[in-house]
Structure 1
Amino acid sequence: MAWILLAAAIACEVMATTALKLSDGFAHKGWSVLVVIGYIASFALLARALKLQMPVGVAYAVWAGIGTAAVAAIGTLFLGEGMNLLKAGGIALIIGGVVVLNLAGAH
């Protein structure tokens, strides 16, 4: 159940961060409301996952790592942001770090 809550927290965070870009500095009210709701939901779901004894280091690494990779992909695919080899390498390193933390946490 903790992993399901964490996945939902990540989805809310990615939605909120994407809406943050679309809010144009909070100039667009609808996107701004989505930012606030998304971040509140994300932190609430993350807190619930932690309450279910998920290690905080693992939870935060997965939350931040997958969220970062997803937002970078959304930026590239839908928001006209560029992707280059260096940026892709950085994302791969983040994902690799999350995998290592998860493997270390399993012991």
Structure 2
Amino acid sequence: MSVWALLAGAILTEVLGTIAMRLAVDRKPWYLVTALGYGAAFTFLALALRAGMPLGMAYGIWSASGVALTALLSRVLFGERLTRTMVLGITLIMAGVLLIQLGATA
């Protein structure tokens, strides 16, 4: 499996765990999905590191992407606010991720 696929798995399972945590507030069984999501996220992240992805790049992309996806999904799924300032922040996160990747390949 490619290092990028492993990192994508880490991002998606971390976001799943975070969304499940929000659902668990009212429905306790979702705590199991939260725990499994975070466990899978750390496993995928460790595998990406083992496959050779640098820690700074992996962690930066993983955490930034998770924040952006969680903010967008919480708007769609839970109707939470997404202000212009938050959209600007997400845009800056995307720019930062791009700069991290470009810097790693320079």
Q: Structure 1-normalised TM-score?
A: 0.94
> How much is the aligned-residue C-alpha RMSD, in angstroms?
1.0
Residue of structure 2 in register with 1:32 after alignment:
31
Shift in Å at residue 62 of structure 1?
A: 1.1
Matched to 2:31, the amino acid is S
Return the offset for 1:95: 1.2
Q: Show CA shifts across 1:21-74 (max 9, x none).
A: 1111xx633200000000000001100000011011111111111111111110
In structure 2, the residue corresponding to 1:53 is in which secondary structure? coil
Question: Runs of 4 or more off by more than 6 Å in structure 1?
Answer: none
- TM-score calculated relative to the size of structure 2: 0.94
How far, CA to CA, are the matches of 1:99 and 1:69 in structure 2? 14
| 1:69 lines up with 2:73 in the alignment | no
Instruction: Give the length in aligned residue pairs.
Output: 105
Helix, strand or coil for the counterpart of 2:79? coil
Unpaired runs of 5+ residues, structure 1, are: none
Which residue of structure 2 aligns with residue 101 of structure 1? Answer: 100
How far apart, in 2, do the equivalents of 1:87 and 1:97 lie? 15
Identity fraction in percent:
37
